[in-house]
Amino acid sequence: MRLAKGDLAIAGVLAVVCVCVASAVMVVVVDGANGDGPVTQLSNGFTAKHSPDASAPFEPVLYATNGAFAFGFLRVGAASLDLAVVHLASSFPLWRATPARVGDWSRAATLTFDGSLVLTGADDGVLWQTLNIVGDTVALLNSSNLVVRRFVKTRPAWQSFDNPSDTLVLDQNFTVSSPPLISANRRFALRLAKTYMSLHMEFYGGRTTPMYWQHTALEAQPENATQPPVYGRLDGRGFFGLYLQGGGEKVDVLSFDTFVQNLTGAFRRMTLEDDGNLRAYYWTDDVKVWTSDYKTISAPCELPTTCGAYGLCVPGGGGAKCQCLTNSTSTSPPCSPEETTDLCGGGDNNVGQVFDEVRLKRVSVAYKERLPFETNTTAEQCEQACAGNCSCWGAVHNGASGYCYLIDFPVETMVYEADEQKVGYFKVRRPQSSTRSSGMSRGAKAVTAVLSLILASLAVAGAYIGYRLWQRRRQRRRRAGYPGMEQELTSSGPYKDLKSMGSSNDSFKS
């Protein structure tokens, strides 16, 4: 999330949270905790119940001894329930459990600890738990690290520092084996490889993860197969360091704005936000606000979401301006609905394409060096390479170099460049109604054919039944001496029936 949005969204509930912190025992029913003061340790048998009527957005059940952090139930968005470690002074969640099955804030939920932490919903279904561990106590350290401990071991059986959500804090190691940082909106990820860190877009639940930023450790040696991987750690002196695992040798530093200021007493965090940027902030008790200290991507047009899907970002001295690829006069993105599936799964070979084609000049993509590409091509060849591939959503071609960059994921923000030789070809999925009018899939055709056959059969059966009823009525009329029968018989019915009824007609006349 952006700083402005995140802080504004949280600041409005700051006072309520403080009241909640002061009266935690009244808000949450806690079993297994002794004493009247703040709970700083949970033991086996602990139970805390979330009240569905709770008005405060955060219900703490466990505190750090320094009083700066708390762990408990957190309302996310309008009505979702999560577990979180919260920086109390700012109400910012430094860690979230982010369960795969989201809980409902308006319904009861229970947090228990009996060897492992378990969050269950109102239907007794497990929403989240610490898997494959056995612990004796739970504590929240003054570093904001939530730990499950064994009495006989010094290393925690489980800790939140090994399972980050979207934020890293001071002295938290981010390793190759760590889960990636995932933005709160689940659209972006920060990953660490053996010698570099990188930012990725997340499509289709993480099945497609195109990279849009990469930083390789300066002193790492990718060609050295025996060199251990790097890991990252946020340092209180104002930088994010990359070190070699094992010996701890520093191989690179990402310096923050305060690196040369010798700022002491600040609490720092680094968060992957909803716009896809990785930013660092610090908090001091005298200022009492998160101050931006670093951002990975400075130019707005280099962020995938600046102008949204099928948006065109135009750099300028006063900031970026947005247009739409599909309509250059539009300046109010989003330009097209966000994609939820790929082009390979949405069409039928007998129907034709389910997308429109857009061709533009003076367009490129900021992270083209990280896209698959072809060399020594013409603009026509570049377009054909994408047009015939259902997994390709677009292509940009540089006429000067002959490079063709293929976009094998839904098109996000493109960048305007004042060069006539830079051209783009894009596929834009047609609206659902247009797709239907252009034809039907094989399955729809088969169903239509079966229904047509059934209706035709019913029509024939109905005609036959109607004819038999008419025939019987005519016979009854004839037996009753109904006048005008001769005229009716000579003007209606199949000829073979009229012939077979000849003897009956004669007897009727006589």
Tell me: the pLDDT tens digits for 177-205? 999 999 999 999 999 999 999 999 999 88
Asked whether residue 306 is domain-assigned, the answer is no
The three-state secondary structure class of 102 is coil
* Tokens linked to 336: 């097209």
- Looking at residue 271, which CATH number applies to its domain? 2.90.10.10
Q: Are residues 344 and 330 in the same domain?
A: yes
Separation CA 510–CA 508 (nearest Å):
5
Angle formed at CA 294 by CA 288 and CA 297, multiple of 5 degrees:
135
Helix (H) or strand (E) holding 137: strand 137-140
- Cα Rg of the chain (Å, integer): 35
Q: Are residues 348 and 208 in the same domain?
A: no
Those residues of the chain that have pLDDT short of 50 are: 1-27, 29, 347-351, 434-439, 441, 482-510
Handedness of CA 356, 361, 367, 372 (dihedral sign): positive
Where does a domain end: 421, 437, 453? 437
Q: Are residues 42 and 12 in the same domain?
A: yes
Where does a domain end: 437, 452, 482? 437
Asked whether residue 373 is domain-assigned, the answer is yes
Separation CA 354–CA 343 (nearest Å):
8
Q: Are residues 107 and 216 in the same domain?
A: no
Q: Are residues 317 and 287 in the same domain?
A: no
Separation CA 68–CA 90 (nearest Å):
10
Asked whether residue 458 is domain-assigned, the answer is no
Asked whether residue 243 is domain-assigned, the answer is yes
- Of residues 319, 322, 326, 313, the one with CA closest to residue 417: 313
Partnered with residue 173 across adjacent β-strands are 233
pLDDT of residue 124: 78
Q: Are residues 138 and 183 in the same domain?
A: no
SS3 of 284-313: the string is CCCCCCCEEEEECCCCHHHCCCCCCCCEEE
- The pair phi, psi for residue 300, each rounded to 5°, is -60, -35
Q: Are residues 19 and 107 in the same domain?
A: yes
Handedness of CA 177, 179, 183, 187 (dihedral sign): positive
Q: Are residues 147 and 268 in the same domain?
A: no
Q: Are residues 264 and 357 in the same domain?
A: no
| Alpha carbon of residue 470 to chain centroid | 66
Q: Are residues 357 and 343 in the same domain?
A: yes
In order, the DSSP letters of 432-485 are: HHHHHHT---HHHHHHHHHHHHHHHHHHHHHHHHHHHHHHHHHHHHHHTT-TTH
How many domains does the chain fold into? Answer: 3
- Looking at residue 323, which CATH number applies to its domain? 3.50.4.10
Asked whether residue 452 is domain-assigned, the answer is no
Asked whether residue 459 is domain-assigned, the answer is no
Where does a domain end: 127, 159, 191? 159
Partnered with residue 424 across adjacent β-strands are 360, 396
Q: Are residues 220 and 150 in the same domain?
A: no
The angle, 0 to 180 degrees and rounded to 10, between the axes of the packed helices 442-479 and 502-509 is 30
Q: Strand locations in 170-302, DSSP E?
A: 173-174, 181-182, 188-192, 196-201, 211-216, 230-235, 239-244, 250-255, 267-272, 278-283, 291-295
SS3 of 139-161: the string is EECCCCCEEEECCCCCCCCEEHH
Asked whether residue 447 is domain-assigned, the answer is no
Asked whether residue 445 is domain-assigned, the answer is no
Note down the domain range covering 83. 1-159
Separation CA 61–CA 70 (nearest Å):
7
Q: Are residues 275 and 342 in the same domain?
A: no
Separation CA 394–CA 183 (nearest Å):
26
Q: DSSP code of 180?
A: P
